[in-house]
Amino acid sequence: MEQIDQDRRSLFGFTSGEGALVAMGAIAASTVIPLTEAVAQQAESLTDIDLFNFALNLEYLETDFYLRGLGMTVDGVFGTSFGAPVKGGRKVQFSSPAREGMIKNIAGNEVAHIRFVRAITGSQASQRPPIDMDAGFAAVAAAAGLSDFDPFASEMDFFLGGMLFEDVGVSVLKGSARKLKSLALRESAAGLLGSEGYHMGAIRSVIYKMGDTWRSRAAAISEFRDRLDGPQDLDQPPVKIGNMANITPANENGIALGRTPEHALNIIYGNPARGIMAGGFFPEGFNGRIRST
């Protein structure tokens, strides 16, 4: 037990201000995360609306992904178009009603997220930018070394596709919690974070349950994300470590890993460089003020 604790600890360290919290033995000063000048400029004047618009771009992607797997689309469900077209995706042949039911629940949550975040951002809501799932997933498959990866090909491939996006959603919401100024929006962001955590707990537990084949495919996706989002280890695969599963991507404090929006964009654009404005799933980039890696 102790040995396993040590292993896990050496794999996954502190993030952001937790070290400060613990070291001081009290909740007091905040730590400053060093940022490059360019990123600092993007971050400097960010409003809560900017952060929610960033989340909205991600929600557009996630929601159409889940709905398309169920044979629906965002435009079809809402009866209107929120912007540019979405390319790719098709109905998945589910083999288990329970797993299809889980995806339906997640899709329903994501539909609600779009409606809610658009209500929060109101007239400033970002329109949906062009989304290309074919190009995005092809790039992931190539970069992750999963040449046969097509998330719409089977139930379990679809679970992998969901994991690709939503672990990122959790980490970026966690990393953004401190940036929001409005109390009510903090509570809302916490609620969104909670539901995305539920989704990933369900999906990663099923992947883990399915054994080595699917664990190793998920590990390839986790490694793909980790190669893109900077030198810090911000990702963990759902594999066995010692006598334990690794369904929760947690550090030694049992706290979820956090990502900046810029690191999330590195993954979504499929490019580890700074200053990138488009690529991967978003051929013309995100809409809104947070769009550069």
Partner 1 sequence: MDYVSLDPSRRQALRMMSASLMGAGLVGCADLIPQGIGLALLPNPLTDPAVYNFALNLEYLEAEYYRRGVYGQGLPGELIGPNPGAVLGGRRVQFRTPWIAEMFAEITEDETNHVRFIRQTISSSPLIEINRPVIDLQTSFRVLGSQAGLGPNFDPFADEESFILGAFIFEDVGVTAYAGGADLLADDDSIEAAAGILAIEGYHAGAIRATIAEMGPRMIAAADGIARARGAAESPDNQRPNRTTVNTVAGPKEQLISAGEVFPGEVVISPTDPQGRSFPRPPQDVLNIVFMNPDKDARRGGFFPDGVKGVVRHARNANHGRTA
State which of residues 20, 84, 138, 153 lies at the interface with partner 1 (CB under 8 A). 20
State which of residues 76, 85, 145, 194 lies at the interface with partner 1 (CB under 8 A). 194
Is 234 one of the binding residues for partner 1 (CB under 8 A)?
Answer: no
* Nearest distance in Å: CB 69, partner 1: 12
Q: Which residues contact 234 (CB under 8 A, 6 or more apart)?
A: 15, 171, 225, 226, 257, 258, 259, 263
Is 91 one of the binding residues for partner 1 (CB under 8 A)?
Answer: no
Is 34 one of the binding residues for partner 1 (CB under 8 A)?
Answer: no
Is 75 one of the binding residues for partner 1 (CB under 8 A)?
Answer: no
- CA 186 to CA 78: how far, in whole Å? 26
Per CB under 8 A, which region of 82-90, 100-108, 127-135, 277-285 contacts partner 1? 100-108
Q: Which residues contact 193 (CB under 8 A, 6 or more apart)?
A: 170, 173, 174, 177
Which helix (H) or strand (E) segment is 87 a member of? strand 86-87
Residue (150 or 252) nearer to partner 1, CB: 252
- CA 235 to CA 177: how far, in whole Å? 19
Per CB under 8 A, which region of 35-43, 82-90, 240-248, 260-268 contacts partner 1? 240-248
Residue ranges of E strands in 105-261: 131-132
Is 17 one of the binding residues for partner 1 (CB under 8 A)?
Answer: yes
Count of residues interacting with partner 1 (CB under 8 A):
92
* Nearest distance in Å: CB 284, partner 1: 27
SS3 (DSSP) at 86: strand
State which of residues 101, 232, 274, 275 lies at the interface with partner 1 (CB under 8 A). 101
* Nearest distance in Å: CB 89, partner 1: 17
- CA 11 to CA 251: how far, in whole Å? 9
Looking at residues 52 to 71 of the shown chain, list those that interact with partner 1 (rule: CB under 8 A).
70
Is 28 one of the binding residues for partner 1 (CB under 8 A)?
Answer: yes
Looking at residues 102 to 141 of the shown chain, list those that interact with partner 1 (rule: CB under 8 A).
102, 104-113, 115-116, 119-120, 122
Report, in this order, helix, strand and coil percent for the chain, each rounded to 5. Answer: 60, 5, 40
* Nearest distance in Å: CB 85, partner 1: 23
- CA 195 to CA 233: how far, in whole Å? 24
Is 16 one of the binding residues for partner 1 (CB under 8 A)?
Answer: yes
Residue (99 or 225) nearer to partner 1, CB: 99
Is 79 one of the binding residues for partner 1 (CB under 8 A)?
Answer: no
SS3 (DSSP) at 221: helix
Is 177 one of the binding residues for partner 1 (CB under 8 A)?
Answer: yes
User: For residue 169, which of 30, 265, 239 has the smallest C-alpha distance?
Assistant: 265
Which helix (H) or strand (E) segment is 171 a member of? helix 155-176
User: For residue 262, which of 176, 178, 177, 199 has the smallest C-alpha distance?
Assistant: 176
